[in-house]
Amino acid sequence: MSGTDTHDTLRLLEADGAATGQVWQATLIQAGLSANQVYYADAVLREAVSRFDGARIYVKSDADHLKGASKDVRQLVGWVSQPRFVEGAAADGGRIEAAIHLPGLPDDIRKLLIEAHKAGRANLIGLSIDATGSAGARLVEGRRVRAAQSITRVDSVDLIVEPGAGGRLVRLIEAAPAPLTPPEVSMREKLLLQLKDQAPAAYARIDVATATDDEVMAAYREAFAPPATGAGEDVLEQVRMIEARMQARSMIAASTLPDAAKTRLQDDFAKRARFAEADVMAAIESERTYLARFAESGRVDLAGLVPDIQVEDRAVKMADMLDAFFDPAHKDHRSVGSFREAYIEFTGDRHVTGQYAQCDQARLRESAGASFREALDSTSWADALGNSITRRMQQIYVGEPDLQAWRKVATVGRVNDFRSQERFRVGGYGNLPAVAEGGAYAALTSPGDDKATYAATKRGGLETVTREMILNDDVNAIRRIPAELALAAGNTLYEFVFDFFRTNPTVWDAVALYHASHANLFTAALDATQFAAHRLAMVKQARAGSAKRMGVSPATVLIPFELQETAYNLFVRNQNLDKTFVQTINPEVIVVSYWTDANDWVTVADPMKLPVLEISFMNGQETPELFVQDMPNVGSMFSNDKLTYKIRHEYGGAVLVDGEKGTTKAVVP
């Protein structure tokens, strides 16, 4: 889980002379409920303090910060040092403070910060963390919100305009003409002096030489905290029990107990004066055990009971719901019959207005996955829908065996850019010469420098999901999107590969792939005699650098639909008790669906023995990718009432050097 946070006040800490705005004291993150409905407990922040030490500071736009993008060295302006946790006056009221060093801050922004500080507007610019951690759910003041459970890594602290979790510049840290101690120490001394004068007993319990700032602060609060009153304790207990009863209702309702058992437990806990969460869990388990006695098997099948009474990760649930909508094989496919309902469940936008203001923001963030980026974002729905479309599209793409037939006649490679790729001849050394005892090894004759060249090409297009499609609940049209995208990408690659055999292109030696000089071009129709002739021509092809035959036979026959019956009778039917020579070769027959010439046919060798083609994918990405093409307008879930997705597939290929020796073709007049 990844995220971001902060906004407060700054103060400048600098050496001698006028303020230059290079060192500030800042609040990085505040405990409690953030503006974006994420709850940060003191314990989580206290445990994460050390991870802020040395964190990089970037200047970013709010949009780049939300995406976790644009970590450019030109945006790097400083670092964090001396992070510490400062206790608050109440539980979960603490914060993480630190010194932030901004030597790389542009002069105009630095001047703006200094002038804003002088004018008492230190909150003009805020801070927001970009961090990774885990989150769950929690009831706070009767509302279910996301609660950070841990912060495991801090990627950066960003200067942005609208932070959300209390991140702020506190003060410009200016040194007096010759300060000997930082401001934190002088504050520490003030606290110690007040303890010594007004609470000598508390002061005596402190080892001044070794006590940390947090320990001094804790002693100060303990010494000067107002005495608790019985009335206050009663109010706190009443609030705690209100929250406990709400939690109990949620836990019991989420269990898989029968309705009558749920009602009995709800009534029981409504009457109890005091109980804890553990009591509720124990009561549910006790009820399950009681009911199990009446089952024939000796137990009630409540598999997954414990997960049922735990808070479920809504992001996982929402992703699974969208997957179920698109995938007919999904166990819950029939349960998700309305795309409009799926949209409303995800966003809370019950009237499908597409306006971010009409969405349940807490629900939208939970649905998209817990993020500690505290600025607001309206791309969550588009991204989540795109992820589900991508998963289904790639599932269909890989699962179409006919469209993957090209892999049987080509080798697969990888390229890292769009520049021209060169593939040199491999092999051609001839036989290894004998080496006499104690004799020197002779140099082998290197292969020629013949090469084939090609470059990867970007292919793609756009598809849209409109607001009208959601309002009209056009289920079939939406469900067809991933299938149509997969088929479009698959057919494009399929035809790209088999067109090398159909169009007879010019290859590495400036001669057509099928040519008399290559000894691989024929003119007779498919039958046993002609197939044997094609086979003989292929096995007689000579190895580069020698006159020795390669001895590689056809492994595949490529045909149009019109020759499918002929090929079946020739290679597949076992009508003879004694198989013919051609039947013993048993090549795989591939019907190339889009070939329209009714008579032409092709043989191809096993690409593991004699590769004919190489097809390479950009960065090894063999499946097509899907992206959100248009970023939604500010405050809108849609751009022009539609979400536009971009499909992209990048690859290229060519006939390899000596590839002509691994294929034959009959161009029948």
pLDDT at 552: 93
Residues 24 and 10: beta-carbon distance below 8 Å: yes
Q: How far apart are CA 367 and CA 381, in angstroms?
A: 8
pLDDT at 303: 37
119 — pLDDT class (breaks 50, 70, 90): confident
Residue spans of alpha helices (H) in 505-655: 528-539, 564-567, 581-585
Span of 358-362, 470-474, 528-532, 578-582 with lowest mean pLDDT: 358-362
Residues 343 and 349: beta-carbon distance below 8 Å: yes
pLDDT digits (tens, 9 = 90+) for 310-353: 334 556 677 777 777 777 777 777 777 676 777 777 677 676 66
The total of structural domains in the chain comes to: 5
Residues 144 and 138: beta-carbon distance below 8 Å: yes
Span of 172-186, 321-335, 455-469, 513-527 with lowest mean pLDDT: 172-186
In this model, does residue 265 exceed pLDDT 50? yes
Q: How far apart are CA 416 and CA 395, in angstroms?
A: 25
Which residue among 302, 330, 352 closes a domain?
Answer: 302
639 — pLDDT class (breaks 50, 70, 90): low
Structure tokens at 41: 């407990």
Residues 214 and 206: beta-carbon distance below 8 Å: no
In this model, does residue 160 exceed pLDDT 60? yes
394 — pLDDT class (breaks 50, 70, 90): confident
365 — pLDDT class (breaks 50, 70, 90): low
Q: Judge whether 150 lies within some domain.
A: yes
Over residues 636-644, mean pLDDT? 61
Q: Judge whether 41 lies within some domain.
A: yes
Q: Judge whether 633 lies within some domain.
A: no
pLDDT at 419: 86
Q: How far apart are CA 587 and CA 239, in angstroms?
A: 78
Reported as type and span, the H/E element at residue 99 is strand 95-101
167 and 255 assigned to the same domain: no
Over residues 461-481, mean pLDDT? 76
pLDDT at 202: 79
Cα distance from N-terminal residue to C-terminal residue, the chain: 64
In this model, does residue 210 exceed pLDDT 90? no
Over residues 602-629, mean pLDDT? 90
Q: How far apart are CA 62 and CA 130, in angstroms?
A: 12
- Gyration radius of the chain over CA positions: 36
237 and 276 assigned to the same domain: yes
Q: Judge whether 62 lies within some domain.
A: yes
Q: Which of 199, 612, 659, 112 is nearest to 408 (CA)?
A: 612
Residues 344 and 353: beta-carbon distance below 8 Å: no
Which residue among 347, 367, 397 closes a domain?
Answer: 397
Q: Judge whether 196 lies within some domain.
A: yes
178 — pLDDT class (breaks 50, 70, 90): very low
128 and 262 assigned to the same domain: no
pLDDT at 407: 94
pLDDT at 427: 58
In this model, does residue 128 exceed pLDDT 70? yes
168 and 37 assigned to the same domain: yes
Reported as type and span, the H/E element at residue 70 is none
Q: Which of 327, 332, 331, 281 is nearest to 308 (CA)?
A: 281
Model pTM score: 0.49
Residues 644 and 628: beta-carbon distance below 8 Å: yes
pLDDT at 166: 47
Residues 58 and 76: beta-carbon distance below 8 Å: yes
496/572: higher pLDDT: 496
pLDDT at 28: 85
Q: Judge whether 627 lies within some domain.
A: no
Range among 87-101, 500-514, 575-589 rated most confident: 500-514
DSSP 415: E
Reported as type and span, the H/E element at residue 341 is helix 339-347
- Domain containing 288: what range? 230-302
Degrees (nearest 5) of the Cα angle 150, 152, 153? Answer: 140
Residues 612 and 659: beta-carbon distance below 8 Å: yes
Over residues 231-251, mean pLDDT? 67
Q: How far apart are CA 465 and CA 638, in angstroms?
A: 9
162 and 123 assigned to the same domain: yes
Q: How far apart are CA 575 and CA 366, in angstroms?
A: 64
Span of 94-98, 569-573, 645-649 with lowest mean pLDDT: 569-573
In this model, does residue 373 exceed pLDDT 70? no
447 — pLDDT class (breaks 50, 70, 90): low
Q: Judge whether 434 lies within some domain.
A: no
pLDDT at 530: 95
164 and 271 assigned to the same domain: no
80 and 174 assigned to the same domain: yes
Q: At 394, phi and psi to the nearest 5?
A: -70, -35
C-alpha count within 13 angstroms, C-beta hemisphere, residue 125:
23
344 and 327 assigned to the same domain: yes
Which residue among 281, 302, 323 closes a domain?
Answer: 302
Span of 180-194, 417-431, 572-586 with lowest mean pLDDT: 180-194
pLDDT at 32: 85
pLDDT at 384: 61
Residues 299 and 368: beta-carbon distance below 8 Å: no
pLDDT at 302: 36
12 and 141 assigned to the same domain: yes
Range among 73-87, 467-481, 485-499 rated most confident: 485-499
Over residues 186-209, mean pLDDT? 74
**DSSP sequence for 206-263:** S-TTT--HHHHHHHHHHHHPPPP-HHHHHHHHHHHHHHHHHHHHHHHHHS-S-HHHHH
In this model, does residue 662 exceed pLDDT 90? yes
pLDDT at 335: 72
Structure tokens at 6: 């902060």
pLDDT at 171: 43
623/213: higher pLDDT: 623
Angstrom distances, CA of residue 55 to CA of 62, 80, 153, 422: 19, 5, 10, 44
Q: Judge whether 441 lies within some domain.
A: no
412: β partners: 615
**DSSP sequence for 371-411:** B---S--S-HHHHHHHHHHHHHHHHHHHH-TGGGGGGGSEE
pLDDT > 90 in the chain, percent: 20
Q: How far apart are CA 627 and CA 630, in angstroms?
A: 9
**CA dihedral in degrees (210, 216, 218, 224; nearest 10)?**
140
117 and 262 assigned to the same domain: no
Structure tokens at 622: 């063999």
In this model, does residue 151 exceed pLDDT 60? yes
Residues 131 and 3: beta-carbon distance below 8 Å: yes
Q: What is the mean pLDDT of the chain?
A: 75
pLDDT at 87: 87
367 — pLDDT class (breaks 50, 70, 90): low
Instruction: Tell the residue number behind the tokens 């140099």, with chain if given.
Output: 443
Q: How far apart are CA 627 and CA 620, in angstroms?
A: 18
Span of 153-157, 175-179, 229-233 with lowest mean pLDDT: 175-179
308/454: higher pLDDT: 454
217 and 134 assigned to the same domain: no
10 and 135 assigned to the same domain: yes
DSSP 12: E
pLDDT at 316: 67
Residues 325 and 315: beta-carbon distance below 8 Å: no
